[in-house]
Structure 1
Amino acid sequence: MPSLPNSAFLLWTSDFGAGHRQTALALAQALEEMDPGGEIEVMDVRQMLHPRLYPLLKAGYRLTLEQLPVLFGQAYRMADRYPLSVSGWYGPRVQLARLRFKALLSERSWQAIISTTGYAAMVMASFRRSGALNAPVATVITDFYAHPYWIHPGTDLYIVGHDAVLEGLRTRGVPRERIVTTGIPIHPAFESAAEKREASRRSEQAEGGSTRPLRLILMGGGWGLFQDLDRLLGALDRSRIPLHLWVLTGRNAELQKALSARPVPSPHAVQALGYLPPEAVADLFAVSDGLITKPGGVTLAEALAVGVPMFLVHALPGPEEENARLFVSLGLAETGDEHALVRWAEKLADPTFHEAWLTRAKPHRPKEAARAAAKAVLRLIPTSLY
């Protein structure tokens, strides 16, 4: 496609959870490919708003998730039940953001502004609703639930990961024409990993099946937030099937160090890996047999795209519980206690289990979600050829 004249796109994100940023970067890359001459800015909304306080705010958020997740869940549920409480709670901060961002939004002619976090979506919708912003605004919902935190009058387009979210938005009054289901935008490496995984699976089947240990990945999100990891590993130690375990500890260096010095030897191979870029994670997904993970929306989207069966643990009260509820109801994931975990791991050795999972997953696996989302954004622009 020829470049739009003087095109500029602003993508708001947040490092309060790695998924928001990964989604923004994936969408930015797709926009760059589809509009090569366009300028693309990816900015952290909270860092721009509170540059000096940002490290403290981020540390406080992480501490809340680690020590007081129930409070997070209670706030989420209250806002779900009483949507007006969202605007009431965030109202003063929205006004502050409008004062801080007014110059930024007027300094150039933005073709479109996209938010991958609910707070930024709220602020941009406020600008749009008041007539202070001419550029269309889009929101990419990075969970699999239509929570009021994401829904704000003035938003031109909602980009969602599943039709269940579309229906949830419609139930909450969003017009159908303002919603598009593309899948959550993810790094293109995960699309390539799906092809590698399928080729490897066909090769093993042609050779009469695999005799290697089952390869499982354990993930605790970008911050490596695991509860009772020793209990999970202890349960897997009881598996009768040989396992090779990759534990992705994210940016949690203390956890990686503790795992490397685990006092009780495992009958299985256990490898602790720190933070990995998306390409490296995708490579692991391509050769793994299953994923044990917290149900963050972007992680689930990545695993689904590659074709990796999932067992969900340690759901954060609120959004991750809703993500887990949908994936379990669709037969895309399992959850339960350590006995259920061992049963799930042992089922992975049965080729018919994987075939049945792929059959269930097929209608829910979007192709090239980032490009589809970028195309939806470009369609908001009158001069676009899409």
Structure 2
Amino acid sequence: MKTPSSILILTAAYGEGHLQVSEALRESLVRQGYGVRILDLFREAHPRLNALARYLYKRSPLFSSLGFDYYGWTYRITQHMDERHPGVRWLNGLGRRTLLQAVKADRPAAVVCTFPFGGVGAALRRAGLYVPVFTVITDYHLHNRWLQTQADRYYAATAELAAELKERGVDRGRIVVSGIPVRETFRAGLRRAADSESGGANSAIDGTDSAIDGGDCAMDGGDSAIGSADSAGFAPASGRKPPGTILYLSGTHATIADTLRSVKLLLRLPGIRIDVVCGRNDKLRRELERDFKREARVTVHGFVETMPELMRRASCIVTKAGGITLTEAVQAGTPLLIYKPQPGQELENARYFLAQGAARIAYNAAELTDQAARLLERSEIRERMARRYRELNGGDAAAMIADDMDRRLRPLAARHLEPDFADSYRREERMAYDG
């Protein structure tokens, strides 16, 4: 048998975050010599149901503002729901046939989940496909669905998340505190921006050396949230220049009325300039361009490739609380104002950052303006946040995860294990993960 050399990444396009993590992992795994296939499992298996789910996900902020918080309700209801519950069993069955077909066709060395697909490990084992499953948790809060992937190894964003995994019954040897992967293009943009600010003297982040050294450390992360404080690499954003530039990330799901109201209130602050990024929300971009076409202090962007530079030059970032955006802001070192976090993982992410002293939260436009004024006027708040970002920044999580996966997979691949050798595989698997 040919030595396995491919990885199957399972993801879903509910927001950009899961896709970005998948791409970051793909880049690092390719550098390790693996072929990588990224599979949007729900879209492939159930295109109509997936389209409906994506529509409901995109519209959830609007319905939540009207009092119909179906996304938050669903998140809370399923938070501690047992796998034997009929609803969970139905969810876990979605995409199972497509998953098994993909694994049989690709014969991957491993399956990686960047979205919480329940029952992946169990489905593979029941089909006699003894393929290692790795789960990369893309939030700062543990939802039950991540546990239900039944992975051989979990990569956690923080030491607190790793401790919760252990409390929920996951053996500590199967947990690694890794941080959340971000794309190499983003990290390269931060390096360019930092070098430009320092005249080329900033060494910035050197990817693979900055994270946890050695996958065998598992959950031994000390008190820091992601890696060590020495691995941050970039100077904090605060202190580079006088405050005055706000980066407003309105995103795909933002409403036009709320964005207009928020930006207009922020413009009342003295000496303020605002970069508004609308992402792929073209309707919002056109409306803002029309409303602010005579306002020199506002620059409206659509989807941008220069996010690292925009983050670095900003005095603070107004954003939702997606795990990837928060991680990118931490790596940029720019103070965070989380605006109207949606019930569900966003709200839990926001609460974690607030508890860590790494962000402020605002629930309406007036509160956002007050919080922004306080943050921009008080350098000690920005400096305190910058210190937390240095502690939270674990460096190149994608490279560390790829290294750890490779160390676990190579002993199995070297023995040329066939999927039919179930008992042999399980023995070798235990040796690899326990060693």
Which residue of the partner structure matches residue 250 of structure 1?
279
Native 8 Å contact 2:250 2:259 kept in 1: no
2:340 to 306, 310, 314: 314
| Residues 153/42 of structure 1: CA separation in 2 closer, same or farther (3 Å cut) | closer
Does 2:105 correspond to 1:107? yes
- Residues 304-325 of structure 1: CA distance to partner in whole angstroms, max 9, x if unpaired? 1111110001211011110000
Answering whether residue 309 of structure 2 is matched by residue 283 of structure 1, we say: yes
Residue type of the alignment partner of 1:258: E
Could you tell me which residue of structure 2 aligns to residue 232 of structure 1?
262
Alpha-carbon separation, structure 2, partners of 1:168 and 1:112: 25
Change (3 A) 1:265 1:125: same
Q: CA deviation at 1:129?
A: 4.4
Residue of structure 2 in register with 1:8 after alignment: 6
Task: Give 2:409's aligned residue.
Answer: 381
Q: Compared with structure 1, are the counterparts of its residues 382 and 109 closer, same or farther at alpha carbon in structure 2 (3 Å cutoff)?
A: same
Q: 2:130 aligns with which of 124, 134, 156?
A: 134
Across the two proteins, how many residue pairs are aligned to each other? 370
The answer on 1:335 being equivalent to 2:361 is yes
1:89-238 equivalent positions in 2, closer than 5 A: 89-119=87-117, 122-130=118-126, 132-152=128-148, 154-199=150-195, 214-224=244-254, 228-238=258-268
Report the equivalent of 2:391.
363
Pairwise CA distance, 1:284: 1.4
Would you say the 8 A contact 2:119–2:150 is kept in 1? no
Structure-1 separation of matches of 2:325 and 2:37:
24
CA deviation profile, 1:69-113 (whole Å, cap 9, x unmatched): 611111111222x32178532323433522233222112321111
Q: How far is the alpha carbon of 1:212 from its aligned partner?
A: 6.8
Give the aligned residue type for 1:161.
A
Bigger Cα displacement from structure 2, 252-261 vs 51-60: 51-60
Superposed CA RMSD in Å reads 2.8
C-alpha contact 2:256 2:287 (8 A) present in aligned 1: no
Instruction: Summarize deviations over 1:260-303 as a string: whole Å, max 9, x none.
Output: 1117965x6111111224xx212211222211000111110111
Change (3 A) 1:86 1:163: farther
Q: Could you tell me whether the CA contact under 8 Å between 2:251 and 2:281 is conserved in 1? A: no
Q: Which residue number corresponds to residue 260 of structure 1?
A: 289
Among 16, 35, 45, the residue aligned to 1:49: 45
CA–CA distance in 1 between the matches of 2:115 and 2:6?
A: 20
**Letter matched to residue 273 of structure 2:** H
Q: CA deviation at 1:346?
A: 5.2
- The AA in structure 1 aligned to 2:285 is Q
- The unaligned stretches of length 5 or more in structure 1 are none
Secondary structure, aligned partner of 2:95: helix
Q: TM-score normalized by structure 2?
A: 0.77
The DSSP-based 3-state class of the residue aligned with 1:15 is coil
Greater displacement, 24-33 / 352-361: 352-361
Deviation of residue 339 (structure 1)? 4.1
1:76 aligns with 2:75: yes
1:222 is displaced (CA, Å) by 4.2
The verdict on how the C-alpha distance between 1:211 and 1:324 changes in structure 2, with shifts beyond 3 A counting, is closer
TM-score (norm 1): 0.86
1:381 partner SS: helix
CA distance in 1: counterparts of 2:149 and 2:375, whole angstroms: 47
In structure 2, the residue matched to 1:33 is 31
Q: 1:335 to 1:281 in 2, by over 3 A?
A: same
Residue 55 of structure 2: which of 53, 59, 62 is its match? 59
Shift of residue 54 of structure 1? 3.9
What is the CA-CA distance between 1:192 and the residue it aligns to? 3.2
Secondary structure class of the residue paired with 1:174 = coil
**Distance verdict in 2 for CA 1:222–1:376, change over 3 Å:** farther
Judging changes above 3 Å, is the alpha-carbon distance between structure 1 residues 61 and 25 closer, same or farther for their aligned structure 2 residues?
same
Shift of residue 340, structure 1, vs aligned partner:
5.2
Alpha-carbon distance in 2 for matches of 1:30, 1:192: 14
Q: Percent identity?
A: 25
Contact 1:197 1:306 (C-alpha < 8 Å) held by counterparts: no
Unmatched 5+ stretches in structure 2? 200-234, 415-431
SS of the residue corresponding to residue 118 of structure 1 reads coil
